[in-house]
Amino acid sequence: MPSCDAIVIGGGINGLAAAGRLALSGAKVTLLETAPELGGMATLAHLCMGLDPRLEKSLALADHGLVWAERNVSSTALSPDGNHIVLKGAFAETVEGSLSAEDRRAWTSLRDTLLRNAALLAPFKAMPPPRLARDHGTPLLDLLRNGLALRRMGRDNLREFLRLMLINVADVLDDELADDRLKGLIAFDTVLGHHAGPRSPNSLLGLYHRISSEVNGQQGAIALPRGGVAAVIAALAGAVRARGVTIQTGARVKAITAEDDRVQSVTLESGEIFTTSLVVSALHPATTLLSLVGAPVLDTGVVRNVRNIKSRGSTAKLTLTLQGKPDFHGADLRSRLVIAPSVRAVEEAFNAVKYGAFSEAPVMELLLPQAFSTEPDLGRHTLSALVQFAPHDLRMGWVKGKPAFLKAIMKQLEHFAPGIGKQVIAADLLTPHDIAQHFGAPGGQWHHAELSVEQMLFLRPGVGLAQYATPVRGLYLASAAMHPGGGVNGSAGWNAAGHALAKGGAA
């Protein structure tokens, strides 16, 4: 029976981040991943919208092969008539294309406000969520410190910060801007990966979440690693291996055994048992607690709280293999292409998932990785698309629904890139249901648990579960469902491991 200091379950970015941090502390760590390859849901991403700098630095990812192909990927708001606008620099520092002077001014001012407000939230991401209780002074002090930072920003800015804390993005955009393309793109970015429409109250937080992150020290930037997001995973895997982490792929965990409320061992499907006193699970909390630990070991109230975690995935991933380069009315393909013609278009696309249907006119973000490559054009192009909105449970059933959804997506694409349909050699569509099945993430939600206000900070992913620790001593949660949420950044895993170490791991 092998034993080790710590077991990390799940080889996605958070599992790897947690394993890395534990290994840095000198622990003997084994990481178990069900799939034959590492990466988990990060393999669905085609861009990096924030990578935790603590991770990048401490694990020296650059030494393990992480190179950025593009540190500031531009975004193009596609227009069906070719009148695109291109947003360049971190979080659209400049806008190219036909945009009124008034909107340019308004955007500069709104961008400043949003970046300033988001920056205030950034420190929270690097700490465990504060607890709201009288007898937990330290995190409360952190909270107060941040509160003082708030006051330092000046009265008017603070008022604006408070007003824009829980507001929907549609109202903010309508208040400040006129251009549908710009508004559509920002609205899309706000709800990308979320179960929300731009009109959903509090939706602006989705945007804050994204632009409070940084890549390469640039707040709000979008970056493309050379070799795609897979290269981030590869570098991370190399880095943690170099620090002594044993990685076992193809190792599906069947059970986490606890005795007297204390973790004892991890059992694989294969029958292999690891005894350990510290388990950090990067699987969805519901999988970890209800399937691997088992509801009977937990108190009923905990089971209720876990089952109340909302995990509605509504983003699909489409990979098209194309014969030749697609033409989006002349848009520069070395850009992130966004189909989101207006706020209303995004909102109406969202309407469908409320009723278990997919959007008839979906909104999406497209990337042609080859456009960023220096390799010679061999004629075949891969188009990677993140498409919204599609429900996990399609009312008509995904067997019938998948071809229909693909048709709807192609129709929308055809609208923006006439003739693209004829270029398609192969199409691979992963619905939220497929994603859930393939990655074992209930609901197929990007962030495991929806990143909505009632599942943020001390409420993430549910009441009593926000501190990475579980009722089983020695078992910690490190999934994207934990604070501060998902994305290719590893913060949740890093925080969780740090918290486990601070609590003395198994003690």
Q: Footprint of other proteins on this chain (CB under 8 A)? A: 131-134, 151, 155-156, 158-160, 162-168, 171, 175, 196, 199-202, 261, 290, 294-304, 307-308, 310, 347-348, 351, 354-355, 452-454, 458-459, 463-464, 471
Q: Are 206 and 196 in contact (CB under 8 A)?
A: yes
User: Nearest to residue 359, comparing CAs of 318, 314, 397?
Assistant: 314
The nearest distance, CB 286 to other proteins, in angstroms, is 11
User: Nearest to residue 6, comparing CAs of 25, 28, 26?
Assistant: 28
Compare residues 103 and 347 and give the one whose CB is closer to other proteins.
347
Compare residues 16 and 477 and give the one whose CB is closer to other proteins.
477
Compare residues 385 and 456 and give the one whose CB is closer to other proteins.
456
Q: Are 425 and 432 in contact (CB under 8 A)?
A: no
Compare residues 300 and 374 and give the one whose CB is closer to other proteins.
300
The nearest distance, CB 297 to other proteins, in angstroms, is 5
| Sheet strands (E) in 227-379 | 246-248, 253-259, 262-268, 273-275, 279-281, 315-323, 336-339, 363-367
Three-state secondary-structure class, residue 420: helix
The nearest distance, CB 491 to other proteins, in angstroms, is 21
Q: Tell me 130's DSSP state.
A: P
Structure tokens that stand for 422 in this block: 């004829």
The nearest distance, CB 450 to other proteins, in angstroms, is 10
The residue written with tokens 């970890």 in the block is 288
The nearest distance, CB 358 to other proteins, in angstroms, is 16
CA atoms within 13 A on the CB side of 423: 21
User: Nearest to residue 481, comparing CAs of 432, 435, 437, 442?
Assistant: 442
Compare residues 30 and 388 and give the one whose CB is closer to other proteins.
388
The nearest distance, CB 462 to other proteins, in angstroms, is 9
The nearest distance, CB 135 to other proteins, in angstroms, is 9
User: Can you say how many angstroms the Cα of residue 397 is from the centroid of all Cα atoms in its chain?
Assistant: 26
User: Can you say how many angstroms the Cα of residue 174 is from the centroid of all Cα atoms in its chain?
Assistant: 26
Kindly report the backbone phi and psi dihedral angles of residue 467, in degrees, each rounded to the nearest multiple of 5, phi listed first: -100, 25
Compare residues 284 and 402 and give the one whose CB is closer to other proteins.
284
Compare residues 159 and 407 and give the one whose CB is closer to other proteins.
159
